[in-house]
Amino acid sequence: MTHDRHSYAEPALVRTTHLDLELDLDFSAKVLIGAATHTLAWSGPGDRLVLDTRDLTVLSVEGSTADGWEPLEHNLGLPDDELGSALAIRTAGHEQVRVSYRTAPTATGLQWLEPEMTAGGVLPFMFSQSQTIHARSWVPVQDTPSVRFSYAAHVTAPPELMVLMSADNGTQSRRTGSYDVVMPEPIPSYLLAIAAGDLVFEPIGERSGVWAEPEMAKRAAAEFSDTEEMMRVTEALFGPYRWGRYDVLVLPPSFPYGGMENPRMTFATPTVVIGDKSLVSVIAHELAHSWSGNLVTQDSWDDIWLNEGFTSYVENRIVEAVYGTELAVMETAIKQHSTVVKLDPLSPAELAVELPGLNHGSEYHGTTSLGPLKGCWFLSWLEERFGREVFDPFLRGYFDRFAFRSINSEDFVAHLQEHLLTPRPGVVSAEEIAAWLDEPGIPQFAVRAESDRFEVVDRLRHSWLSTGELPAGGKTWTTQEWLRFLDAAPDVLDAEQLQQLDREFGLTGTANGEIARRWYSIVAASAYTPAYDELATFLTRVGRMKLVLPVYRALSRTEAGREFAARVFESARPGYHPITTAAVQKILAAAS
Ligand code: BES
Ligand code: ZN
């Protein structure tokens, strides 16, 4: 097992095996008052338990005795900006330790929304986002993916709000103000999740459904109506879905990610609910995590490609099985293109830092995704070389063997050697494998996805740029064709070009967030001010980092853009999640 440098916990000495949570949601103070009771498995002397915390007020710490609870001596360490504070507790091999605490209104893992920031506008909303190391800001835990535990929670909240967690929530949206949930499978702390708001349930299939605000529920269920089929095709490829139900909770637009694979209850951005299913690969992705990530988990954040790279691969297989090869290939080509564009300008030294060999640990906090993309590309390459009849059972065997365990890259590489490379010699060379695992960048011999439709788009873009003739058929392009058109266009266009495109295709004000982030990035880098009002509306309405950060980056390229960005940020900021706020501040600070 690797040591996790992102946690103070000492899992070699003691591990939480089960967690009992009592939580009360106080919307007026924007805090959560909690008690976390850890059931422990000791392997060391039993004299101390160290938990991760960040900005928690510890009210009491107790240990279980034969006839009740006794207070335990404890010390909350000085806070580190990144890691928070270690809570060191003096123990005597206690079977259970209970920490009573209160969160800070600024907890990095929680967002408390005023009613105006919801679709309904009447009731408040709150949700968590624990990945990567934010669970510690709302629960004192061993906040490392190398420790897994089951959990049960009793939550109280204002009676007009529905509470959901990453657990079995049933399908009844009866509001009582008092909720009990159970997660019987052992999960790592970053999959702890909670949300509360005006939420109703809309079924999709036998095992799946949508939770959302009433105004959104039916539309979301229609957008995600293929979820049950996605589950079936993934099971056929990679083995049973082992989590019972799979539901999707659609959050308000400030949710900082596209999706988060909270077990049994994916949290999702509303920006993919646009009426044409063209962005539902986000659901394929989060569902895929039920195998890669939630079932087999990287044991430290340095090996996150084991989660995200495998998931990106499985996502694409799901998209192919449900929507066809053409869409799957276009989506792969889009990812590969964005990787190559990011890598191109890097010097060899930078490349070694940004994208080392997969076996050499690279950090990813959800804002850039080079490591996961390399991992995905590696798996596609193996699939190509060995053929699906060999590769698919291999991958399924991997999920079965390591189910409900946390592993590192070396565990995967050993499994790869034993179950694929050794039994099938001569298919790939040791040098090729080393190029993926030990060398920086994307290997020269990696095969690029080729899409016929994108060749057409590329041709039409070239001729538009040289002759001014607008792409014929653009009005009927799929989302992915538009993404390609914009991705491979110059960063900066002149005002006539932008105006011409906009007049014909109405890009400014688009409801499609993936198109919007590309279009507004070009608009910003080109200082095309006629679209700035809508650009500002977009940055204010949406808080999903992948959509807003590129636009802030593009604005930061010019002096005037920076000033404009700072103004928009000031007014958008009250609606942003703490991690979006921090990420935007970093961009604006770097630029000034
Ligand atoms: N688990 C990730 C989100 C994440 C990664 C949060 C790293 C914090 C740190 C999630 O599954 C994800 O990858 N979401 C993507 C979806 C996309 C790749 C389809 C997103 O949010 O855009
Ligand atoms: Zn993911």
Two domains, one topology: 199-290 and 298-437: no
Amino acid making up residue 411: D
CB 222 within 8 Å of CB 379: no
pLDDT of residue 518: 98
Distance of CA 269 from the midpoint of ligand 1 (Å): 11
CB 186 within 8 Å of CB 19: no
Which residue in 472, 487, 480, 490 sits closest to 453, CA to CA? 480
| Residues with a CB atom less than 6 Å from ligand 1 | 131-132, 257-261, 281-282, 285-286, 289, 308, 364-366, 546
What is the position in ligand 1's atom list of the atom closest to the CA of 261? 11
Distance of CA 502 from the midpoint of ligand 1 (Å): 31
- The percent helix, strand, coil of the chain (3-state, each to 5) is 45, 20, 35
* Whole-number Å distance between alpha carbons of 386 and 426: 10
Q: Which residue, judged by its Cα, is nearest atom 17 of ligand 1?
A: 282
* Whole-number Å distance between alpha carbons of 128 and 196: 10
For residue 49, report the phi and psi dihedrals to the nearest 5 degrees. Answer: -130, 125
Mention every residue, 6+ apart, whose C-beta is less than 8 A from residue 552. 539, 565, 569, 584, 587, 588
Query: In whole angstroms, how far apart are CA 418 and each of 128, 383, 406, 425?
Result: 40, 16, 19, 11
For the CA of 131, the nearest ligand: 1
Which residue in 298, 291, 295 sits closest to 4, CA to CA? 298
With a cut of 70, which residues of the chain have pLDDT below it? Answer: 1-2, 362-368
Which residue in 392, 378, 394, 389 sits closest to 445, CA to CA? 378
pTM over 0.95: yes
pLDDT of residue 2: 61
pLDDT of residue 361: 77
- Helix H, strand E, coil C: the string for 516-560 is HHHHHHHHHHCCCHHHHHHHHHHHHHCCCHHHHHHHHHHHCCCHH
Write out the two tokens for 154.
């009793």
* Whole-number Å distance between alpha carbons of 568 and 263: 35
pLDDT of residue 197: 98
Using most ligand atoms within 8 A of CB, pick from 130, 132, 255, 257 the residue to mutate for ligand 1: 257
User: Domain map of the chain by residue range?
Assistant: 1-198, 199-290, 298-437, 490-591
52 exposed, middle or buried (CB, 10 Å; 0-12, 13-18, 19+)? buried
Mention every residue, 6+ apart, whose C-beta is less than 8 A from residue 171. 201, 203, 209, 245
For the CA of 282, the nearest ligand: 1
* Whole-number Å distance between alpha carbons of 227 and 414: 34
CB 248 within 8 Å of CB 207: no
CB 46 within 8 Å of CB 92: yes
* Whole-number Å distance between alpha carbons of 90 and 43: 16
Amino acid making up residue 557: R
Architecture field, domain 490-591: Alpha Horseshoe (1.25)
Q: Which CATH number fits domain 199-290: 3.30.2010.30, 3.40.50.620, 3.40.50.300, 3.20.190.10?
A: 3.30.2010.30
CB 295 within 8 Å of CB 321: no
CB 9 within 8 Å of CB 77: no
Helix, strand or coil for residue 64?
strand
* Whole-number Å distance between alpha carbons of 585 and 572: 12
For the CA of 284, the nearest ligand: 1
CATH 1.10.15.40 assigned to 298-437: no
Using most ligand atoms within 8 A of CB, pick from 129, 134, 260 the residue to mutate for ligand 1: 260
Using most ligand atoms within 8 A of CB, pick from 108, 308, 311, 335 the residue to mutate for ligand 1: 308
- For 75-127, the DSSP string reads EEPPPBTTTBEEEEEE-SS-SEEEEEEE--TT-TTEEEE-GGGSSSSSS-EEE
Which residue in 84, 97, 91, 11 sits closest to 46, CA to CA? 91
Query: In whole angstroms, how far apart are CA 42 and each of 16, 145, 269, 536, 592?
Result: 9, 18, 40, 54, 51
For the CA of 256, the nearest ligand: 1
Q: Which residue, judged by its Cα, is nearest atom 5 of ligand 1?
A: 366
Architecture field, domain 1-198: Sandwich (2.60)
pLDDT of residue 363: 64
